[in-house]
């Protein structure tokens, strides 16, 4: 039996790693794709793994599906108390290695650039009809095609075209500043 390197969901080609995330979350959506990309950047930049996740703290400025991706892939979770959410509706994330007061401890900040992705992919009437399940088959296919196109862009664009990514000084006072980290 041959190993499958990638699979297709709708019209989007996904890796086995992303397919595992989709199975966990329940569906593939643009926010999940954003969380997948953010997680991969953090994992590659800071060498975060599920096995060493307790050595890190992560945070998100939203409570979208991206949060599921970060918890599933990095192992930083709300339950382990090393993942924090301050929901202000922004795709802004941070990751930092513990201890926070270590000399030269640089945290990784990832902020989604706009306008790369709009949650309202089609017209408002279409979105409302999706919510109340009153679409025709043709409308559903059109809606899914627009979502697949957004997901494809999120999955295949270069990191720096989707996100502002930078390292910044990090310390215990980070959580107590008057200025918010997600601005």
Q: Domain with 66 in it: what CATH number?
A: 3.30.1330.130
Residue 126 has pLDDT above 80, yes or no: no
Residue 4 maps to a domain: no
Residue 28 domain-assigned? yes
Assess if residue 121 is contained within a domain: no
> pLDDT, tens digit, for every residue of 33-62?
999 999 999 999 999 999 999 999 999 999
Bigger pLDDT: 35 vs 176:
35
The pLDDT of residue 168 is: 85
Does some domain include residue 88? yes
Check residues 22 and 175 and name the one with the higher pLDDT: 22
pLDDT at 177: 52
Tokens 């790693």 correspond to 17
Round to whole Å and give the CA distance between 116 and 154. 8
Is the pTM for the entire model greater than 0.85?
no
Domain membership of residue 89 (yes or no) is yes
What does the pLDDT read at residue 1? 36
Per the document, the length of the chain is 183
Residue 165 lies in a domain: yes
- Does residue 79 contact residue 54 with C-beta atoms inside 8 Å? no
Which 3 state secondary structure label does DSSP give 1? coil
Q: Which of 126, 122, 144, 147 is nearest to 135 (CA)?
A: 126
Which DSSP letter does residue 101 get?
T
User: Do residues 106 and 178 touch, judged by C-beta distance below 8 A?
Assistant: no
In three-state secondary structure terms, 42 is helix
Q: Can you give the residue range of the structural domain that contains 166?
A: 9-115+158-176
Structure token pair of residue 37: 């990309």
36 lies in some domain? yes
pLDDT interval class at 144 (50, 70, 90): confident
pLDDT tens digits, 71-121: 999 999 999 999 999 999 899 999 999 887 777 778 899 999 876 555 455
55 Cβ contact list (under 8 Å, min separation 6): 97, 98
From CA 105, how far away is CA 117, in angstroms rounded?
Answer: 32
3-state SS, residue 166: strand
138 lies in a domain? no
3-state secondary structure (DSSP) of residue 168: strand
Structural domain tally of the chain?
1
pLDDT value at 164 more than 70 = yes
Compare 151 and 35 and report the one with higher pLDDT: 35
Tens digit of each residue's pLDDT (9 = 90 or more) over 11-25? 676 788 899 999 999
């Amino acid at each position: 039996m041959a190993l499958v390197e990638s699979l297709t969901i709708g019209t989007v080609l996904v890796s086995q790693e992303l397919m595992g995330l989709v199975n966990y979350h329940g569906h593939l959506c643009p926010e999940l794709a954003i969380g997948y990309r953010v997680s991969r950047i953090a994992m590659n930049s800071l060498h975060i793994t599920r096995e060493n996740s307790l050595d890190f703290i992560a945070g998100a400025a939203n409570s979208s599906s991206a949060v599921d991706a970060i918890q599933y892939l990095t192992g930083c979770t709300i339950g382990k108390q090393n993942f924090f959410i301050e929901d202000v509706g922004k795709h802004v994330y941070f990751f930092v290695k513990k201890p926070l007061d270590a000399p030269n401890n640089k945290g990784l900040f990832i902020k989604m650039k706009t306008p790369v992705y709009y949650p309202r992919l089609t017209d408002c009437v279409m979105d409302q009809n999706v919510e109340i399940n009153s679409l025709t088959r043709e409308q559903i296919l059109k809606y899914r095609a627009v979502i697949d196109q957004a997901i494809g862009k999120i999955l295949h664009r270069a990191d720096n075209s989707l996100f502002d990514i930078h390292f910044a000084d990090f310390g215990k006072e980070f959580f107590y500043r008057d200025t918010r980290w997600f601005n």
